[in-house]
Amino acid sequence: MKFFSFVTAILVCAFLYGLVFERDTLMALAQSGAQDTGDAAQDDGIQRVAVVALKSQAQAIDSAVLVRGRTEAARQVDVKAEISGRVISAPLRKGAFVEEGAEMCVLDPGTSQARLAEAEARLAEARANMPTAQSRLPEAQSRLREAQARLEEARINQNAATRLSEGGFASDTRVATADANYESALAAIQSAEAGIQSAQGGIESAQAAVRSAEAAVASATKDVERQTIKAPFSGLLESDTAELGALLQPGMSCATIIQLDPVKLVGFVPETQVDRIAVGAVGGARLTGGEEVQGRVTFLSRSADPVTRTFRVDIEVPNADLHIRDGQTVEMIIASDGADAHLVPGSALTLNDEGTLGLRIVEDGITRFAPVSVIRDTVDGIWVDGLPPQVDVIVLGQEYVTDGVPVDVTYREAQG
């Protein structure tokens, strides 16, 4: 107890000595400590918010568009019958490969061959009647020329009789006879013209008969051709062809055939990325089994899907060995023009009061909101564009500041 009392007395004496004899020195130390504390808390009297930022430099990247899609046959047709008939050919089994023009279903010809022979006979008859109809026209034209000559002769005789009668040298009977002959010649002219028209009508009738017979032959020939249903293109049968003995009616299916070489990769691109794709661009895909294929964009829809607001894009790739099937799931990637972008953490993204996606950046110690668009999401972060080539991005504390707020920035190293 005496020891602690003795220590306490020494401390009290030291404090009183410093307070009385070293007062100026203690006041200077106190002011220096207060100034240091103020400098740490505020700068030039401005209150600042502490944030962590990243100095980011824009980098050139391949701004490819990633899309999930599926494979689709280049062609798929349900081949159907056009006429009625009973199948008389053995069926081909599904999975078989058929060449273009190969017979798939053969129908019983029935009376179609007889109808074709009858139509061909009528055509021959109509063509045989054509020369007879054509020969009547020159005969009618000859009669017209003869009637015209007689009319000219009758006109001359009529004029002569009229003048002689006026001079008293011809009787009234002669004049009447000349008039009658003239009228008769006019009637002959009209009859000859009617004969020409009749001959021309006969020719047109004969031509119409020929055309009608030709149409009947063509129809009968087409019916004969339709009895054999052929493959419209080379491909694989997705179903058995119609069974032997089955009765097919017009519109009934013979078989379904698909073409898988080349095969199409079909994806649907969001409207925010559709402008980055062009027809002819290089594209590829990874199948579910890990295989990678490559081709080019052959189609880009101009009309969005009314439900998903996405645009269809087709990539055509070779498939000579037919190992890619219709309807497989694929991950598609489509090349587009390179762009400068920044790699930032996904957690740095934020929204402004209008709901626009962007980042909080620092300019001269002041925060500002910068709208950005996402190019690609990776394991290292998110690639975005819409920023200057060099920028300080707030990665911690961005939710606690708004535009124009002074900040006390602590920087961390860039990623990637």
Residue 299 maps to which CATH number? 2.40.30.170
Residues 58 and 138 in one domain: no
Domain membership of residue 279 as a residue range? 259-334
Question: Do 106 and 300 meet the contact criterion of CB atoms below 8 Å apart?
Answer: no
Residue 57 included in any domain: yes
User: What pLDDT score was predicted for residue 33?
Assistant: 42
- Report residue 37's pLDDT band, with 50, 70 and 90 as the boundaries: very low
Rounded CA separation 283/230 (Å)? 35
Residues 354 and 304 in one domain: no
State which of 334, 364, 398 marks the end of a domain: 334
Of 33-37, 57-61, 191-195, where does mean pLDDT reach its minimum? 33-37
Residues 147 and 219 in one domain: yes
Q: What token pair was written down for 377?
A: 């999401």
Residue 140 included in any domain: yes
Residues 175 and 136 in one domain: yes
CA of 38: how far to CAs of 35, 46, 197, 366, in Å? Answer: 5, 11, 123, 21
User: What pLDDT score was predicted for residue 15?
Assistant: 55
Residue 9 included in any domain: no
Spacing of C-alpha 228 from chain mean position: 34
Rounded CA separation 55/367 (Å)? 14
Q: Which residue has the tokens 């690609």?
A: 376
State which of 209, 226, 243 marks the end of a domain: 226
3-state secondary structure of 116: helix
Question: Do 229 and 237 meet the contact criterion of CB atoms below 8 Å apart?
Answer: no
Rounded CA separation 67/64 (Å)? 10
Handedness of CA 101, 107, 108, 112 (dihedral sign): negative
Q: Which helix (H) or strand (E) holds 404?
A: none
Residues 195 and 143 in one domain: yes
H helices of 74-171, where? 112-166
Residues 328 and 387 in one domain: no
* Helix, strand, coil content of the chain in percent (nearest 5): 40, 35, 30
Q: What token pair was written down for 111?
A: 């009376």
Of 2-16, 26-40, 91-105, 222-236, where does mean pLDDT reach its minimum? 26-40
Residues 349 and 321 in one domain: no
The answer, yes or no, to whether residue 318 has pLDDT greater than 90, is: yes
Residues 362 and 277 in one domain: no
Residues 316 and 344 in one domain: no
The answer, yes or no, to whether residue 24 has pLDDT greater than 80, is: no
Residue 403 included in any domain: yes
Q: Model confidence over 8-20: pLDDT tens digits? A: 666 556 555 555 5
Number of domains in the chain: 3
Burial category of 9 from C-beta neighbours within 10 Å (exposed 0-12, middle 13-18, buried 19 and up): exposed
Residue 141 included in any domain: yes
The answer, yes or no, to whether residue 358 has pLDDT greater than 90, is: yes
Rounded to an integer, the average pLDDT of 232-249 is 92
Question: Do 352 and 398 meet the contact criterion of CB atoms below 8 Å apart?
Answer: no
Rounded CA separation 403/397 (Å)? 13
Question: Do 406 and 365 meet the contact criterion of CB atoms below 8 Å apart?
Answer: yes
User: What pLDDT score was predicted for residue 338?
Assistant: 67
Rounded CA separation 33/35 (Å)? 5
Residue 137 included in any domain: yes
Rounded CA separation 51/371 (Å)? 19
Residues 369 and 384 in one domain: yes
State which of 311, 334, 357 marks the end of a domain: 334
Burial category of 396 from C-beta neighbours within 10 Å (exposed 0-12, middle 13-18, buried 19 and up): middle
Rounded to an integer, the average pLDDT of 95-117 is 90
CA of 335: how far to CAs of 114, 277, 283, in Å? Answer: 62, 8, 6
Question: Do 80 and 252 meet the contact criterion of CB atoms below 8 Å apart?
Answer: yes
Q: What token pair was written down for 386?
A: 């819409």
Question: Do 206 and 122 meet the contact criterion of CB atoms below 8 Å apart?
Answer: no
Higher-pLDDT residue of 125, 42 = 125
- Report residue 40's pLDDT band, with 50, 70 and 90 as the boundaries: very low
Cα-only R_g, the chain: 51
DSSP 336: -
For the entire predicted model, the pTM comes to 0.52
DSSP 128: H
The answer, yes or no, to whether residue 156 has pLDDT greater than 60, is: yes
Instruction: Using alpha carbons, select from 195, 186, 193 the residue that is nearest to residue 153.
Output: 186
Rounded CA separation 411/51 (Å)? 9
Residue 30 included in any domain: no
DSSP sequence for 232-273:
SSSEEESSPPPPTTPEE-TT-EEEEEEEEEEEEEEEEEETTT
Rounded CA separation 362/55 (Å)? 10
Average pLDDT, the chain: 83
Residue 28 included in any domain: no
Residues 192 and 271 in one domain: no
Residues 360 and 403 in one domain: yes
Q: Model confidence over 394-411: pLDDT tens digits? A: 999 888 898 999 999 998
